[in-house]
Amino acid sequence: MYGYSEAAAAVLRKVKAGIGDRVRILRGSTVYEGILLPRPEAGDPDNIVLKLDSGYNIGIKCKGAKIERVRHEETKPSEQIGLERWRAGLKRALSFDPGKPTITILHTGGTIASRVDYRTGAVVAAFTPADIVGMFPELTSIANIRSRLIRNMWSDDMRFGHYALIAKEIAKEIKTGVDGIILTHGTDTLHYTSAALSFILQNLPVPVILVGAQRSSDRPSSDAGMNLICAANFIAKSDFAGVAVCSHASSSDTTCWILPPNKIRKMHTSRRDTFRPINTEPIATVDYKSGKIEFVTSTYLKKDKLRRLKVMPKMEPRVAILYIHTNMFPEQFDFYRKAKYKGLVLAGTGLGHMPLHVVDEITKIHAKIRNALQKLTKTCVVVMAPQTIHGRINMNVYNKGRDLLALGIIPAADMTPETAFVKLAWLLGNYPRIRVEGLMRKNIAGEISERTIGVNI
């Protein structure tokens, strides 16, 4: 029965409880009440899974527990009639209005485009225009909404090939004359994708805004709706063109930031304001209630539908990031040479340092690290980015930094390791190696700040 063990299934059959029914379980002195769910594949088959009223799921050992069915759930005719009326209202809301801009929402997965079916407890993909407007009806007052699925995947499963696929689909939508595109994306690697698109999509005539959510749309504290609505307002009401990210500016539901695509980072595992600008300021703010937009910067690309998009999707796959730490070994650098990697970003300590000098018997191995690094730079472009996140690489201050420069290490200015990684892969995919060093030092898509702005860390 729905993945449960025979013992658990027998208990549920005895009280005539089925999936979607409301169930009360007494275990010891604690009472649990919620909707009975199927057992997840990875769960204990003897645990009965409930979705509590708080929105969270809990597994309760059936042995020794008292179980009763509180309410049996079934679709009533009146509810079906209400559903049909709701669908008719959606159809009217989705009719094309020539007085409004048109926005296409492209989906790659993530919690922002999903909802929970409370009868079954399953997460349901919501990708059609009706699904999206059904969850976020405010969108119809902002724009005509088109919506379709590219991929439904965890963001950490993204590969460079997906960036090319996304860029291709964005280009298709731009050819149809849409006024802007929203790309839904999981938050874990959203900043990699936004950085990649900032290089791949050259001369964008309209805005492409990436939007994610830290909390699913079934939770009262979800950030999905606010992020999506603020992104739509920004597209509809501003003259901005280019790639950007829309995310909560604080933990409250008041304002979203429009952030530069290649100067951000996910800074918290669960907070809704996880994306923060690194060494720069936001592009703009969007007030959630009023939709009012305030630009922080005046230097941005402006909409021009006559501008011709250029797509450069090639990326060198054999590029990596290596985090510098104490107690390193030469084999760590030999690996990338022997595996024939074309690019490597070192996330260095301080101003751009790593183990290199021999100061006593214990550090003799550092001479071998230097030799391994020297061999590596002959076949691989090696870039130094700051692991401190905030601040700027400066390898001219200390002799260790100058020694690394002499070995051919390229400083990444104030780029984050993730942006340096994406940029290096893109450069190696589109230009000969002889040009890559110079282009790594050049500001191509706003990834390098002329002046590093101080921030509250």
Size of the chain in residues? 457
> Each residue of 324-344: b (16+ CB within 10 Å) or e?
beeebebeebbbbbeeebbbb
Distance between CA 376 and CA 399 in Å, rounded? 21
Residue ranges, CATH 2.30.30.520, the chain: 6-71
- At residue 256, the pLDDT reads 96
Read off the pLDDT band of 398 (50, 70, 90): very high
Active site residue 266: yes
Q: Which of 187, 189, 193, 416 is catalytic?
A: 187
Residue ranges, CATH 3.40.50.40, the chain: 319-440
Active site residue 363: no
Class of domain 6-71: mainly beta
Active site residue 255: no
Q: Tell me, rounded to whole angstroms, the distance of Cα 109 from its chain centroid.
A: 10
Q: Which of 46, 100, 120, 188 is catalytic?
A: 188
Residue ranges, CATH 3.40.50.1170, the chain: 95-311
Q: Which of 111, 184, 193, 285 is catalytic?
A: 111
Active site residue 273: no
Interval 88-118: pLDDT, tens: 555 655 678 899 999 999 999 766 655 555 4
Q: Is the pLDDT of residue 354 over 70?
A: yes
- At residue 18, the pLDDT reads 83
Instruction: Kindly report the average pLDDT of the chain as a whole number.
Output: 87
Options 3.40.50.620, 2.40.50.140, 3.40.228.10, 3.40.50.40; which CATH number does 319-440 get?
A: 3.40.50.40
Q: Where are the beta strands (DSSP E) in 87-179?
A: 102-107, 114-116, 123-125, 144-149
275-277 and 264-266: which strand pairing?
antiparallel
Q: Is the pLDDT of residue 221 over 70?
A: no
Q: Which of 266, 342, 400, 423 is catalytic?
A: 266
- Annotation: CATH topology of 95-311: Rossmann fold (3.40.50)
Phi-psi region at 291: left, alpha or beta (left = phi > 0; alpha = psi -120 to 50): left
